Copies of this chain bind each other. A is one copy, B any other.
Amino acid sequence: MEAFVILVEPKYAGNAGAVARAMKNFGFKNLVLVNPAFSLDEDECRKFAMHAQEIIDNAELLNSFDEALEKVDYMVGTTSIESRDDKHHLRKTFLARDFAKEIYKIDGKVGIAFGREDYGLLNEEIKKCDLLVKIPTSDEYPSLNLSHAVCILLYELFVCKYEPREVLLADGREKEKMYEFFDELLDAINYPEYKKENTRILFRRVIGRAMLSKWEYHTLMGVFKKAIQAAKRNKQ
């Protein structure tokens, strides 16, 4: 799947710049503008693009939505309007997250079309799309800023493939060792017997939720060891 971000008749140069930046943030490079109301060399565009100037430099300018259709194998339209009525199949939409999971199956050029800042995509354009995507929003004000809409969709596409850096977590054996140390500490400080069981469970829950890295585990175990020694010395 090779993605093309297609802005259809955008009005503001700053939005195109902000879109280019978001594309670079999420590792996309193909920007297509259909009949923009500005020049890509405007300061506003360059300023918002920040470190994504090369995406602006390489952006492709087309004259019509039909030209954009010819560029891609599959055209995805974005809309903030979802049909409330099953009969309006014209606007049957996928949610952004479901879309991201499905679209990588396609082997070819996928255009993701974003409409005008005020009117979005026109019905004639929507009709020509293979699939419609909607970003869930509050019903009270569903209209996203253009670059925000692009940003969220590219984020979803990126996250789909993102592999988080692995942090070595403390394993079960280590955690049990820590619970033993905690018990020893309770003994060493003469913690009241009738409170022990509940406090033990509470500690277990806290550590369980905290998902300790190995480094954090070893650091805290050092603290426990010293605390137990100190408490025992005071008992003598």
Residues of A within 8 A of B (CB): 18, 21-22, 24-27, 48, 50-52, 82, 84, 86-87, 89, 92, 95, 97, 135-138, 140-145, 147-148, 151-152, 155, 158-159, 162, 164-165, 167-168, 213-216, 219
| A216, closest chain B residue (CB) | B89
Contact of A141 among B51, B143, B148, B215 (CB under 8 A): B51
Task: Please determine whether A165 and B84 come into contact, CB atoms closer than 8 angstroms.
Answer: yes
What's the Cα separation between A84 and B18 when bound, in Å? Answer: 28
Tell whether A82 pairs with B165 under 8 Å between CB atoms, given A152-B151, A155-B152.
Answer: yes
Tell whether A89 pairs with B213 under 8 Å between CB atoms, given A137-B158, A140-B24, A141-B51.
Answer: yes
Task: Please determine whether A18 and B215 come into contact, CB atoms closer than 8 angstroms.
Answer: no
State the main secondary structure of chain A at its contact with B.
loop
Task: Please determine whether A140 and B215 come into contact, CB atoms closer than 8 angstroms.
Answer: no
Find chain B residues with CB under 8 A from A148 CB: 18, 21-22, 25, 147-148, 151
Find chain B residues with CB under 8 A from A145 CB: 18, 21-22, 48, 50, 147, 151
What's the Cα separation between A97 and B155 when bound, in Å? Answer: 11
What's the Cα separation between A117 and B62 when bound, in Å? Answer: 33
Find chain B residues with CB under 8 A from A155 CB: 135, 152, 155
| A105, closest chain B residue (CB) | B209
Tell whether A167 pairs with B216 under 8 Å between CB atoms, given A18-B145, A137-B26.
Answer: no
Task: Please determine whether A87 and B142 come into contact, CB atoms closer than 8 angstroms.
Answer: no
Find chain B residues with CB under 8 A from A48 CB: 145
| A214, closest chain B residue (CB) | B86
| A80, closest chain B residue (CB) | B25
Task: Please determine whether B92 and A143 come into contact, CB atoms closer than 8 angstroms.
Answer: no
Task: Please determine whether A86 and B25 come into contact, CB atoms closer than 8 angstroms.
Answer: no
What's the Cα separation between A72 and B145 when bound, in Å? Answer: 29
